[in-house]
Amino acid sequence: MIFYAAFLRGINVGGHRKLPMAELRTAMEDAGFSAVATYLASGNLVFAADHHDRAALTSTIEDLIATNWGYDDVPVVLRTHSELEKAYETSPHRDSGVDPKWRFLALLSEAPSEAAVGNIDLEALNPDVFTIDGDHAHVLLPHGAAKSKLTTTYLEKHLGVIATMRNHNTIENVLTMFPA
């Protein structure tokens, strides 16, 4: 068995695209996944699968959401424990002194091209900053998210990849959900 964390983009945010986590756990188990656990209502789950074809796993979860809830546009990004832990531990913002709820890990569907990253006007985002590390972006919003331009939608538009962001508090809690 291989354990994964799945991060669903745009679920249960602002009262839109409601997807009850208990129902998602049941649907995942009915689809053959095991040890399914969720964290918060915003689409964070850990599960075990008997194979490691990520494209197939991602497609199965996306199809399951479309079939059961009618949301055919909910991207899913998967990470193993070691991938998620490494991304979190290598964050250049971990010890920044900024509240962990304003330090984010953006999980990307794939590494963006260097050209896409190079075309972003970092000065226009000031004081918000981000760095790309493969298929992750480390995001720091020192004044909070409310007025920031550096959103998931911004990253997707400018990097040309699917992105979903979680703050460091959430990442820490998801990491504890994996079996020891």
- Calculate the average pLDDT of the chain: 95
**Of all helices (H) and strands (E), which one includes residue 66?**
helix 54-69
Query: What tokens appear for 156 in the block?
Result: 């997707």
In this predicted structure, what is the pLDDT of residue 14?
A: 72
Rounded to the nearest 5 degrees, what angle is found at the Cα of 70, between the Cα atoms of 178 and 156?
65
Banded pLDDT at 149 (limits 50, 70, 90)? very high
Mean pLDDT of 71-92: 96
Mean pLDDT of 113-142: 95
Mean pLDDT of 18-45: 94
Beta strands of the chain (E only): which ranges? 2-8, 34-39, 44-49, 76-80, 103-108, 129-133, 136-140, 163-167
pLDDT tens track for 41-54: 889 999 999 988 99
* Alpha-carbon span 6 to 58, nearest angstrom: 8
Mean pLDDT of 20-43: 95
Decide which of 95 and 58 is more confident: 58
Q: Structure pTM?
A: 0.94
Range with the lowest mean pLDDT among 17-21, 62-66, 148-152?
A: 17-21
